[in-house]
Amino acid sequence: MQALVESARRRDSALVVGLDPVPTRLPPGLLEGREEHEAVLEFCRGILEAVSPYAAAVKVQLAYFERLGPEGMRAYAGLVREAGAAGLPVIADAKRGDIAETAAAYAEAHLRVYGAHCVTVNPYMGADAVLPFLEEARRLGRGGGVFVLVATSNPSAGAFQEASEPPASELAARLVAELGDMQNCGYPDAGAVVGVTRPEAGRRARRLLPRALFLAPGFGAQGGGVQGVRALLDGSGGGVLVSSSRAILYACGGRGDYRDAAAGAAREARDLLRAAGVRV
Amino acid sequence: MQALVESARRRDSALVVGLDPVPTRLPPGLLEGREEHEAVLEFCRGILEAVSPYAAAVKVQLAYFERLGPEGMRAYAGLVREAGAAGLPVIADAKRGDIAETAAAYAEAHLRVYGAHCVTVNPYMGADAVLPFLEEARRLGRGGGVFVLVATSNPSAGAFQEASEPPASELAARLVAELGDMQNCGYPDAGAVVGVTRPEAGRRARRLLPRALFLAPGFGAQGGGVQGVRALLDGSGGGVLVSSSRAILYACGGRGDYRDAAAGAAREARDLLRAAGVRV
């Protein structure tokens, strides 16, 4: 987590920009004379440049790269390199969830081969699915870590994550508490994904994880606002990185330069979070 | 599921061979003069040829391809093509778990771009994470479907999947029951991953899903035997495909031809399952 936290503090920004390059929403000009994977990389390159003054990190949504076949994964590799050159740590939003040696292979893929700093991980298979990622991050010593899905922001999340006693989201939060090791930055290397659209679940996750770093999606396009973020803050008013994807990526709405619009939207989101006192 | 079930019936085999090409366990000769991804593809090609008379399908463990970077994904694409040429349907053991448009991108990746028939899916984010895979499989009309993780075979599974009331595994099973559509083969297009190492959880999953097809890992190397498989059978003594990976892939134990050893181990596993009356 160290890498993320230092970047956030350096830029005084709690904003993570999510890179979800949905091909049908790319500026049409970008697709002319380019293969889809080239257009996606070019689009993301423009976004990186536009948001790098305002964002603490970028979160790469793997599905949109996987969908483009092997060349899509080459674009993912290129994107991680370019984010590094822009001084932006990368969260691989891969939500992988497998066990033991297999989880170790996924960890090696994203943290070592592709070079992301952090990975999102699914807790359904228990500690076996989470620990190998932490072990790989610790071996690499680049200040990385994992964000375990705890309380996600999608409509059907509650029907699974809150339908039992204790709720699955609580079991996930306990895994985060058990497995994380404290870093110099003041946060453990295991954090939690906690959406801003379900403040009640968020408050419970915070009670269970008073010191963990939260990655909070759902800000902006998914309808979550500053109020939802406040529910997630820790005792000292920090501990949250807020991720926004589509509200920034597609801010231009098909008019004007997508980079200018993205830069404006990112600055606005950062300022909104700053004004609300959200920080790490 | 149609494609899997037809293949299993044609070959009178309930065996699925899992392709988990761990590079350190490849026959050393294969790595000479080859890049790692080439050696992995060559190894899997040999296994495909060796097991195709005895296996109903192959299950590709994505982590070992993802770990090899973009070229690893090219090997995955090649492997799916060659399995098709050998008449073996492919289950992409990807355990992806994301939502809505993002889940649709993963579904498109594995079912359309890479061409697998079925995908394993993680239920932690609820119906939003499962339905887009089913929708893609139905659009493609190739007799594919999904296997949702319900009760997995790893050591820490129970501590997450059975620690609540109702247990998370029961919520997952309910998703399978709700979302599947019955196919001509007599099984719905949503099946369940239920390990053979936890018969109690397996029996409960079967009570909740009397008609679903189960994909049962943990047979062989993970310590699960025929007794564990019996707990999963449906009312008519069918409904289970049993997956075995390392006990077949690495049957040679470093001595002799790995293909001969794999063919022998696959035949033996198929015969063991046949003798126990396990079928679909």
Residues of A in contact with B69 (CB under 8 A): 73, 77, 109, 113-114
Collapsed DSSP state (helix, strand, coil) of residue A41: helix
Query: C-alpha distances in angstroms, B127 versus A160, A256, B174, B195, B262?
Result: 8, 37, 10, 22, 38
| Domains of chain B, start order | 2-275 (3.20.20.70)
Mean per-residue pLDDT for A187-198? 95
Instruction: Tell me the three state secondary structure of residue A62.
Output: coil
Give the mean pLDDT of chain B. Answer: 95
Q: Quote the pLDDT of residue B221.
A: 61
pLDDT for A222? 61
Q: Average pLDDT of B13-23? A: 95
Binned at pLDDT 50, 70 and 90, residue B222 comes out as low
> Binning pLDDT at 50, 70 and 90, where does residue B153 land?
confident
Instruction: Provide the 10 A C-beta neighbour count for residue A162.
Output: 18
Calculate what percentage of chain B has a pLDDT beyond 70: 99
User: CA of A66: which chain B residue's CA is closest?
Assistant: B109
Report helix, strand or coil for B188: strand
Asked if residues B83 and B48 have their Cβ atoms less than 8 Å apart, the reply is yes
Which chain B residues contact residue A176 at CB under 8 A?
none
Is some CB atom of chain A closer than 8 A to the CB atom of B167?
yes
Out of B73, B106, B126, the one facing A159 most closely (by C-beta) is: B126
Residue B164 has pLDDT above 70, yes or no: yes
- Percent of residues, chain A, with pLDDT higher than 90: 87
Pairwise CA distance, residues A70 & A74, whole Å: 6
* Average model confidence (pLDDT) across chain A: 95
Question: Is the confidence at residue B181, as pLDDT, over 70?
Answer: yes
Question: Complex ipTM, two decimals?
Answer: 0.97
pLDDT level of residue A262 (50, 70, 90 thresholds): very high
Residues 21-50 of B with CB under 8 A from A: 22
Question: pLDDT-based confidence at A23, cuts 50/70/90?
Answer: confident
Say which residue, B123 or A226, is predicted with more confidence.
B123
| pLDDT attached to residue B43 | 97
- Per residue in A202-229, pLDDT (tens digit) is 999 999 999 999 999 988 766 668 888 9
- Between CA B154 and CA B163, with CA B160 as vertex, the angle to 5 degrees is 125
Q: What is the pLDDT of residues A148-176, one digit of tens each?
A: 999 998 999 999 999 999 999 999 999 99
Please identify which of the residues B67, B95, B174, B246 carries the catalytic annotation. B95
CA angle A277, A219, A214 (to 5 degrees): 65
Q: What is residue A178's predicted lDDT score, i.e. its pLDDT?
A: 98
Q: What is the mean pLDDT of residues A34-46?
A: 96
Contact call for A101 and B128, based on CB within 8 A: no
Tens of pLDDT, residue by residue over B67-95, are 999 999 999 999 999 999 999 999 999 99
Q: What is the mean pLDDT of residues B251-264?
A: 94
In chain A, DSSP finds a helix count (H) and a strand count (E) of 13, 8
Residue B198 has a pLDDT of: 86
Confidence of residue B255 (pLDDT cuts 50, 70, 90): confident
- Give the chain B residue whose CA is nearest to the CA of A95: B97
Q: Which of B99, B126, B164 sits opposite A165 (nearest CB)?
A: B164
Q: Which residues contact B47 (CB under 8 A, 6 or more apart)?
A: B17, B19, B248, B249, B258, B259, B262
Whether residue B105 lies within 8 A of chain A, CB to CB, comes out as yes
